[in-house]
Amino acid sequence: MRDKLQVLAHIPTRTEDGIEIQLAANISTVKELDQVMKNGASGVGLFRTEFIYMDRDSLPLEEEQFRVYKQVAEKLHGKRVVIRTLDIGGDKSLDYFALPDEDNPALGYRAIRISLDRTDLFKTQLRAILRASYFGNIQLLYPMISSVEELDRANHVLQIAKQELRDEQILFNEQIEVGIMIEVPAAVVIADLLAPKVNFFSIGTNDLVQYVLAVDRMNETVAHLYDPFHPAVLRMLKSTVEAAKAANIHVSVCGEMAGDIRALPIWLGLEIKELSMSVQSILKVKNSLLQSHFNESSAIWKELLCCTSSTAVLKILSKYLHQDV
């Protein structure tokens, strides 16, 4: 099936009624870039940098990180890459970086919390990303932001990193865009306060679903309760997009839900113009997108907001998808 879809890779990514939607890739390694280009992705919507820190016995130095980020940016030939700062803890650990033993690691010392605690490590990564930004179309993304204060503190370290580079006369993109992952319910609730301070939101549905529903995304016993189509999740998505629209900033979606074709009418109905997903999902989603109707989807939210269960949500979605899944 995937081979059959390969013919779609380099045709425009538009709905049947002509609205262009960017389909970007989530990557963890440089190796994946060949497939990203082969599948005609619009760029990299999420570069999970923690993999640079894994399978080794010490923290990567600035120079080493810089070379990886620069290589990714250059291989994309001007297409955008969104580089997310370190997101360890929770489900991702490092052998040489002792994380505390926690009863609830998903609610513990992880992601931006570690970066703001270990600003030495954070600043090294920011310097590497900034330096690479001179060589391509790089944007910066902070994971797991849950308060304005966290965002301000992260931006403060960014300002320090920028000033250091200026003082050292090292070139970087002064206008680099900065976004945050929306993956914690608190961020959704205060999205109106966060939006004016960033250039974009990237909705991380993997964690958002986990935190909204209080269902551990790694726990098989409760896997049946992990439900991206739960009405509470849908309302969170809608209110995030509304806050972004009010502040006139761009929103993309980068969790697994972005690669689930059943969810496509949700994004079209919210007028989301960028989805980022695993490289393997791009052509499958593109195939559905080409058959989708953007204008028709604007009516879907009236129906979705009346749904009291995910079964009802999925029924509405199938009506708008024009395709059997």
Asked if residue 177 binds Mg ion (CB under 5 A), the reply is no
Q: Which residue is nearest to Mg ion (CB)?
A: 207
* Smallest separation (angstroms) from ligand PEP to the CB of 61: 23
The H or E element spanning position 200 is: strand 200-203
* Smallest separation (angstroms) from ligand PEP to the CB of 75: 21
Decide: 60 and 69 in contact? Cβ < 8 Å.
Answer: no
Angstrom distance (rounded) from CA 104 to CA 211: 12
Decide: 128 and 170 in contact? Cβ < 8 Å.
Answer: no
Cβ closest to ligand PEP, residue 132 vs residue 141: 141
Residues forming the site for ligand PEP (CB under 6 A):
46, 48, 87, 183, 204-207, 254-255
Q: Which partner from the list ligand PEP, Mg ion, none does 132 bind, CB cut-off 5 to 8 Å by kind?
A: none
Q: Which partner from the list Mg ion, ligand PEP, none does 205 bind, CB cut-off 5 to 8 Å by kind?
A: ligand PEP
Asked if residue 207 binds Mg ion (CB under 5 A), the reply is yes
Beta bridge partners of 47: 27, 83
Angstrom distance (rounded) from CA 279 to CA 281: 6
Angstrom distance (rounded) from CA 138 to CA 134: 8
In degrees and rounded to multiples of 5, residue 315 shows phi and psi of -65, -45
Asked if residue 256 binds Mg ion (CB under 5 A), the reply is no
Q: Which partner from the list Mg ion, ligand PEP, none does 48 bind, CB cut-off 5 to 8 Å by kind?
A: ligand PEP
Angstrom distance (rounded) from CA 147 to CA 294: 34
Q: Which partner from the list ligand PEP, Mg ion, none does 255 bind, CB cut-off 5 to 8 Å by kind?
A: ligand PEP
Selected from 43, 45, 89, 204, the binder of Mg ion by CB under 5 A is 204
Beta bridge partners of 140: 83, 178
Cβ closest to Mg ion, residue 105 vs residue 204: 204
Angstrom distance (rounded) from CA 158 to CA 149: 14
* Smallest separation (angstroms) from Mg ion to the CB of 56: 22
Decide: 2 and 278 in contact? Cβ < 8 Å.
Answer: no
In the block, residue with structure tokens 């993997």:
206
* Smallest separation (angstroms) from Mg ion to the CB of 217: 9
Decide: 180 and 155 in contact? Cβ < 8 Å.
Answer: no
Applying CB under 5 A, the span of 6-14, 187-195, 197-205, 308-316 interacting with Mg ion comes to 197-205
Give 245-248 contacts, CB < 8 A, sequence gap 24+.
Answer: 245/271, 246/192, 246/195, 247/192, 247/195, 247/196
Q: Which partner from the list Mg ion, ligand PEP, none does 177 bind, CB cut-off 5 to 8 Å by kind?
A: none
Q: Which partner from the list Mg ion, ligand PEP, none does 259 bind, CB cut-off 5 to 8 Å by kind?
A: none
Cβ closest to ligand PEP, residue 87 vs residue 216: 87
* Smallest separation (angstroms) from ligand PEP to the CB of 220: 17
Q: How many helices (H) and strands (E) does the chain have?
A: 16, 8
Cβ closest to ligand PEP, residue 165 vs residue 272: 272
Could you list the residues that contact Mg ion (CB under 5 A)? 183, 204, 207
